[in-house]
Each structure stands twice: as structure tokens, then as C-alpha cells.
Amino acid sequence: MSSQMQNRSGILFYSNEGKPGENSGFWDVMGAAECEFTVHPAVLVIGGGEAAAVAAKNLIRQQPVVLVNNGNVPDVPEAISYANYKVTAVNGQAGRFTVSLQGPVHRLTVYVGGIVVALETGKAVDPALGLPQNPWISGLFQVNNLSDQTWRGRSVAILLGRESSSFKNTIRALELALELREKHEAEVEIFFQHMQAAAPDFEYLHQCCRRAGVKFHRYIDEVKVHVNVLGVNIQITDPLLPEQDAYKLLADFLLAGEIDVPLPETSELNLMLKTCIGSNGFFKSEKLPWPSTVSNRIGIHFVGDCHDHQVDLQTEVMVVAAQLAHYADGSVLLPQLQAVVDPEKCALCLTCFRICRHKAVVIDTFSQSVQVDPLACWACGKCVAECPAQALDLPLFSRQHLAGQLQHPGRLVVYACANSAYLAAEEAGLTQEKYKNSLSILQVPCAGRIDYQYIIRALQCGASGVLILSCPEGKCQSGDGNLRAAARLQRMRHIMSAMNMDAKRLQSATVTANSVPRLLNVISRMLATLEPTGKEGERE
Amino acid sequence: MIVLQQKDLTQILALIVPYQKILVVGCNGCATVCLAGGANETSLLAGTLRIAAIEQGRSLEVTDHTVLRQCEPEFLIDLVVKVGQAEAILALGCGAGIQTMAESWPNKHFLPAVDTMFIGSPMQTEGWQETCSACGNCTLDQTFAICVETRCAKGLRNGPCGGARDGMCEANPQIECVWLQVYAKARSMGQLDKLRRIIPIKDWSDSRHGGPRRLLREEKEIAESPE
């Protein structure tokens, strides 16, 4: 018999109860009790472009869809569409979002289980090119009307920068060049650093351009553009020509590559959704699991051009549909892995509320306590480790659980993050029985779960050393779990120095899931420092 | 909130040298909220002492317990058995908490494991800053709800002194000039004229010059008076 479960990223997976070891890498969730939650089956899709249309059309097959956009909405039969409506507030957690919408006349509230952000992007001329504002200079995609007589016989330069030589820009440039050359007999010259046209059809297009007489210039560092009364002067240094022989062109028009820029409402929406925005202004999705549509909050997904780490639209939409499918029935069955608050111990210091990256901690002003929303919690355990009152606990990584694991520890106790180092350790076979005298590799949901008790207990139970293996900096799915673990380890090292103990007994390292050699290196070096004479032969 | 800071471990180890049975008591009030003496820190300290004892090869029995608030005698009832078994009690509470406990068990040694720092509030980054000095005569209304006596290094009641550099205090370049903050707030609220008049001298007679202060509430007795 198989039971349906949800892991932290919201992806459904199935596990056979007869074979508990099957989901290696995920925790053994068999011991956890299950609980059923009522959720709203509908999904809110925000956006008006192609991404929103594809997402809505796919999602409508499995659950109700509400389409909202500040402008037009795509025509999706059966979906409830609100054109010219603006999202003004988003409350609640995964499965139970309450979204307020403000329309031209009415204000309304929708109750949805998940939110899909499928905003379009705006286009702007690549700012890296440093082009002046001029009517003779425009973006590649701003040119619409090619039948105009203004183009006939003119000299047109097309300029692609480093950022703006993307696939879309290159294709657009080639298509425009061919049309201008063949239909309007314009002189077309394309300036590029590198072009991306790595497909048979596009290579054919490129050859057509060359045959039609479009000139291609590759430049190295920068391109100088200035405008005078005669037209647009373009000067480049050609890699094949001597440096003093810079190539100069006086063109009538300059068409420049464009880059995607986020829509102005992105930052506003980000504040309401409590998600993250990257330095480029786009939504920041979690890199893992790939293909990534997951935001830092469960139930909120990004598709299309509005987020980083994007793959093709169809794949993204399929992944989102799979992740939101479990809300479609109106109820979700979840194993109880999530953090639980003991209200009697809670001192309401709000530490958990402030550090939770997944915004799963809710302040309940009615009962004057904090609560962790089980549907929104990733069960990383960062809050459990940070709680000064020990009022939080993770059912599968509780203090009693730890005590049980540490009854007969090996010489070196390794706490390995389940997302990275533990996978590598399993691959390397270090979790096998035969190493248990020298190595105890214990899985933690995130390095951020490792509190002082983990370190102290291991030392008390007779381990000579403790090694914390976390994800590399900036790669923690829970934000800063790895950094917090490292900071705690640093404090423990100070404490050990104050007790005249060897602080080298505590160490931390960053390991990714696929870096088995590094893991072996780190562990063997640590074992060597613990006992200089070392039993190196125990491991391969 | 009262903000505490844990003492250096070497200091704590020196404090407990004469004793073999130690009880570490945490407090679930301010000490927990300022991350210095909650259940987590209490068990950390207890665990550390146990390891230290193993390393030093001395016999040391360490138990730990966290009470709801050390400063209320009623919450200390849970401790009766544990305190009875201990030789000394290492307390992670503010000075008021430790003294309340010490009054309940006059024959035990109470050792502070934390330093009571100040009354403060959280800053934007992780940490706290002193915002109130419990002077007993609150005049926050005159300075746009920013306590200048506490937060100005010179305690100026009419400022700024003119020594600020880039908005930072000349006495301590790590802290902002609080009078510039008052000015900025007055300006943003459009009430700069309020700063034109001289704020009169404060009555400090309510502060700590006549020994410890007492507050008697005649109309509302806090406990039933003994006959």
C-alpha cells in the first residue's frame, strides 16, 4: 500500500510502507503520524501574458483557476477571470490564502490554495551599451512597422551587447536584418560580441543573412556610439584588424539589443507575498529542486520570465501543476514533520518569527502565542535550534530522538545536512554498519537544526570530535541555516578553549550533494587530526 | 525588556570552583527573550559544565531547570527539591530574579552567570540597545518619544551638543547622535518649533539617590496582607 506524502518543497512523492529505505535522501517519514488538513482547491494565477495563459490552461484541468491581472487577462474558458484587478493584500498560508483584489469598481476577496505568479516582463534597451536617448536609436523589439518607406535604402546598424546577445535578441536581429535587406534594400550591419544561434534553423537564417549581404562585425571590449546631425556614429575595435584601424560606420538608424526588466508591480507584489527578490529585480526562486518554480514559501510558485533560474515554460507549468495538484481535492494528508510550538514554554520572543525564511510562523494575537503553520513549514528546524525557551520541536528530530541516536557514537560524529552532505555520504557508502566505530553520520534536516545540544551531547556521549557538514554559503534552502550552524560551532569552540579543551575537535565544512571526493577528504582529514596515529585503513 | 549578557565561561568556572553540586536556573522572562538565559542557554551552560568536569576530572553534579519568572516567589515552588539538593545555584536571571531566589533560600549560595545590562529594545540588526534608564520621571513627550537622557552620551536635555560627525556621537562613534534623530523626527512631523523652547531641568528626586525605590500601591494591595 502506498501513501501520498508531501516533502518540504511541495512535490508529491510516494513511498511504500513495506520498504522504509526506499526514499533514500528523504527522511524516513514512516514513523510520523499523519494529519488531514482542509484547504482551498483553487489556484490564483497572476499575470496577463503567455506564461499566465499556459499556466491557467494546464491548471484548469485539475482545479479551479482564478486569473488576475492589472491589465488584460488571457482568455481561458472555465477560469474565473478578473481583468484590470490589482492584488492589494495576501494573507494566510499555503492551502489557505486569502487574497484581496481591487478592481476598477469593486473590491473582492478570493480564497485560494496556491498562488502562481506569471507576470510578464518589460523590455528596455540594454543599459550596458550606454546609448544616448535619440529618435534614431531604438530597441530591436520596438520596431514594428517595417513597411514604412523610411527604411528604404537606408543604412541600419544593429548592436548587440554582452547581456543583450541572448537567444531572443539574436533571432530578432537576424530576422529584422534579413527583412530590411531583402524587402527594403537597406544596408544592414550587425555588431555583436557573441551570438547565440545554435540550432539548425537559426544557422540557416544566419546563412540567408550573409547571402543577402548583411555584414557582421565582432567587437571585443566596447562600442563607441555618438550621434551628430548626419546620423549615428558607431566605432568598434575589430579583433581581426590592428588596434589603430578601428572600424567606423555612419548609420541612419541604430537598433539595439534589449534586456528583460521586471514590471514595476513586481516589488509591490513581492512585499505582499513575502517572497524574495534578487539583485536584478526579478523574483528569486529556490535553485533546488530543479526545475525550480518554488519560492521561499510553500504554495507560491513562479513561472515564466518573472523569476530567475527559469527553464522552458511548458516544463515549469508541468512542475507547478504537479506541486499544486494536492490542493485540488480540498484536503491534504500530511505526515507530521513540521515544527510544533509548546505554548506553555513559549516566551513570545519572536525569534522564530523573525528568522523563518519560509514565513511559516504566525503570531496568533488572539491566543497570544506563535504557531507554526503545518502546511507552510519546510521542517528545516532552524527555529527549533534558535528558540531560547526550547519551546519548539521537530517531531523527527527531537531531543529524545537525538539522545537515542547518540547512545553508542563513533569516534567522529558527523552531522550532515539532508539536502547535501548526507546524500554524498550515502553515495560514498559511509553510512554503512562497518564504519560505525569510527564514524556516526547523523542526518539533520538542515544544518540550522544543529543546536548546542547536538554538539554537547555528542561530546558527552564519548565522541572525540564533531563535524558539521552543511551546504555552501548562499546555497542553503532555508536561507542561513549553514551560517547559523557555523556561528554556533564557533561559539562552542570558544567555550572549549575556555575549558582548556582542544577546539579542533569541533569542525565544520561545506559539502555539496555531488562532491563525494571532497566529503571523503574532509572526513579523513578530520579523523587524522583526532588521532594523529590514525586508522586510515578503515576507509578506502 | 531587561537585557542580560552571559558572563565569560572562565568567570563562571571560577565561580563554581568550591562546589560539587550545582543547580543552573534559567528564567523564561526577559532572560529568554534577550537570548541570554532561557531554557536553551541554561541547558547549554549545564552541558558545558558537565563536559568541563569530565575534562578536569573532578566530580561535579549539574542539574538545570528553567522557571517561568525568577523574580516572582510563586514561580519558584518547582525549584524546592532541586535547590535542596544543590550546594550552589548558578542563576541566569536578572539581578532582581537572583535576589528574589536568594531571599527564598537564605542558606544557599546564589551565583550570577549573567550580567544585567540595561532596559532596552531590539535593534534592526541582531542585538539590543539601551533605551530607558528607569529614572522615575518620564518626560518622553518633550523629545518626540526618544529618551535623550539615556541615549545621549552626555545626557543632554537640550541638544545637540554640536560635536556629532556624520550623524555619529563624538563620545562614541559607534552610536548615532540621538539629538539628530530627535531633530529628524521633529522635522518629519513638521514640529520643529517644538525644539525651539528650552526643555526645563528635570526633577531627579525620583531617581536612585535615596537608596532603593519602593512603590506602594495603597488602593490596590498586591497580596492579601497577613493578619
Q: Please list, in sequence order, all residues whose beta carbon lies within 8 angstroms of the beta carbon of residue A416, skipping any fewer than 6 positions away.
A: A422, A424, A425, A441, A442, A443, A444, A469, A511
Separation CA A90–CA A274 (nearest Å):
9
Asked if A349 lies within 8 A of B32 by C-beta distance, the reply is yes
Place of cell 568567570: B11
pLDDT, tens only, A364-380: 878 778 899 999 998 99
Largest CA distance in chain A: 86
Largest CA distance in chain B: 69
A369 interfaces chain B, CB cutoff of 8 Å = no
Please report residues of B whose CB lies closer than 8 A to that of A500.
55
- The pLDDT assigned to A8 comes to 42
Place of cell 524587402: A183
Q: Do residues A448 and A418 lie in contact, with contact meaning Cβ atoms separated by under 8 Å? A: no
Name the band, by pLDDT with cuts 50, 70 and 90, for residue A30.
low
Which cell numbers hold the place of A312? 522552458
CA of A240: how far to CAs of A195, A224, A245, in Å? 17, 18, 10
Residue B159: DSSP 8-state: -
* H helices present in chain B, as ranges: 9-15, 30-33, 39-56, 80-85, 95-104, 148-151, 178-188
Q: Please list, in sequence order, all residues whose beta carbon lies within 8 angstroms of the beta carbon of residue A263, skipping any fewer than 6 positions away.
A: A119, A120, A121, A122, A306
Q: Is the pLDDT at A110 greater than 70, yes or no?
A: yes
Interface residue ranges in chain B relative to chain A, Cβ cutoff 8 Å = 8-10, 13, 28-29, 32-35, 38-41, 43-44, 47-48, 50-52, 54-56, 66
Place of cell 550546594: B87
Helix (H), strand (E) at residue A183: helix A167-184
Interface of A with B in 256-295 (CB under 8 A): none
Find the mean pLDDT for residues B97-110: 94
pLDDT, tens only, B60-73: 999 999 999 999 99
Which cell numbers hold the place of A303? 513561472
Q: Is the pLDDT at A142 greater than 90, yes or no?
A: no
Separation CA A227–CA A302 (nearest Å):
41
Distance from the Cα of B210 to chain A's closest Cα (Å) equals: 35
Place of cell 553508542: A408
Q: Is the pLDDT at A16 greater than 80, yes or no?
A: no
Q: Do residues A439 and A414 lie in contact, with contact meaning Cβ atoms separated by under 8 Å? A: yes
- The pLDDT assigned to B192 comes to 92
Which cell numbers hold the place of A504? 579542533
Q: Please list, in sequence order, all residues whose beta carbon lies within 8 angstroms of the beta carbon of residue A130, skipping any fewer than 6 positions away.
A: A225
Which cell numbers hold the place of B11? 568567570
Please report residues of A whose CB lies closer than 8 A to that of B5.
none
DSSP, collapsed to helix, strand or coil, labels residue A396 as: helix
Please report residues of A whose CB lies closer than 8 A to that of B65.
none
Q: Is the pLDDT at A11 greater than 50, yes or no?
A: no
Q: Do residues A68 and A272 lie in contact, with contact meaning Cβ atoms separated by under 8 Å? A: no
Distance from the Cα of B38 to chain A's closest Cα (Å) equals: 5
Find the mean pLDDT for residues A332-337: 86
DSSP, collapsed to helix, strand or coil, labels residue A268 as: helix
Asked if B38 lies within 8 A of A499 by C-beta distance, the reply is no
Name the band, by pLDDT with cuts 50, 70 and 90, for residue A402.
confident
Question: CA nearest B1: which of B26, B28, B29, B30?
Answer: B30
Find the mean pLDDT for residues A435-458: 89
Distance from the Cα of A452 to chain B's closest Cα (Å) equals: 6
Interface test with chain B among A383, A455, A456, by most B beta carbons within 10 Å: A456
Name the band, by pLDDT with cuts 50, 70 and 90, for residue A286.
confident
Separation CA A525–CA A540 (nearest Å):
13
Residue A264 has phi, psi (to 5 degrees) of -60, -30
DSSP, collapsed to helix, strand or coil, labels residue A421 as: helix
Question: CA nearest A10: which of A114, A90, A97, A92?
Answer: A114
> Taking phi first (over 0 means left), then psi (-120 to 50 degrees means alpha), and beta for anything else, what does residue A180 get?
alpha
DSSP, collapsed to helix, strand or coil, labels residue B37 as: coil
Asked if A453 lies within 8 A of B44 by C-beta distance, the reply is yes
Cα A488 off chain centre by:
26
Separation CA B148–CA B142 (nearest Å):
10
- The pLDDT assigned to B220 comes to 67
A457 interfaces chain B, CB cutoff of 8 Å = yes
> Taking phi first (over 0 means left), then psi (-120 to 50 degrees means alpha), and beta for anything else, what does residue A281 get?
left
- The pLDDT assigned to A185 comes to 86
Find the mean pLDDT for residues B126-142: 90
A451 interfaces chain B, CB cutoff of 8 Å = yes
Cβ-Cβ contacts under 8 Å between A and B: the total is 70
Strand partners for B130: B120
pLDDT, tens only, A427-442: 888 888 788 788 889 9
Residue B128 has phi, psi (to 5 degrees) of -130, 160
A487 interfaces chain B, CB cutoff of 8 Å = no
Alpha-carbon torsion, ordered B73, B75, B78, B80, to 10 deg: -10
Asked if A347 lies within 8 A of B38 by C-beta distance, the reply is yes
CA of B121: how far to CAs of A388, B6, B193, in Å? 17, 17, 29
Please report residues of A whose CB lies closer than 8 A to that of B13.
498-499
Distance from the Cα of A277 to chain B's closest Cα (Å) equals: 20
CA of B220: how far to CAs of A171, B115, B136, B217, B226, in Å? 83, 33, 20, 5, 15
Separation CA A183–CA A181 (nearest Å):
6
Name the band, by pLDDT with cuts 50, 70 and 90, for residue B123.
confident
Please report residues of A whose CB lies closer than 8 A to that of B3.
none
Asked if A498 lies within 8 A of B10 by C-beta distance, the reply is yes
Interface test with chain A among B13, B32, B41, by most A beta carbons within 10 Å: B32
Asked if A460 lies within 8 A of B51 by C-beta distance, the reply is yes
CA of A347: how far to CAs of A18, A342, A450, B98, in Å? 42, 10, 21, 19
A460 interfaces chain B, CB cutoff of 8 Å = yes
Distance from the Cα of B167 to chain A's closest Cα (Å) equals: 28
Question: CA nearest B44: which of A356, A343, A385?
Answer: A385
Separation CA A458–CA A169 (nearest Å):
57
Interface test with chain B among A452, A453, A497, by most B beta carbons within 10 Å: A452
> A494 to chain B: nearest residue by CA?
B9
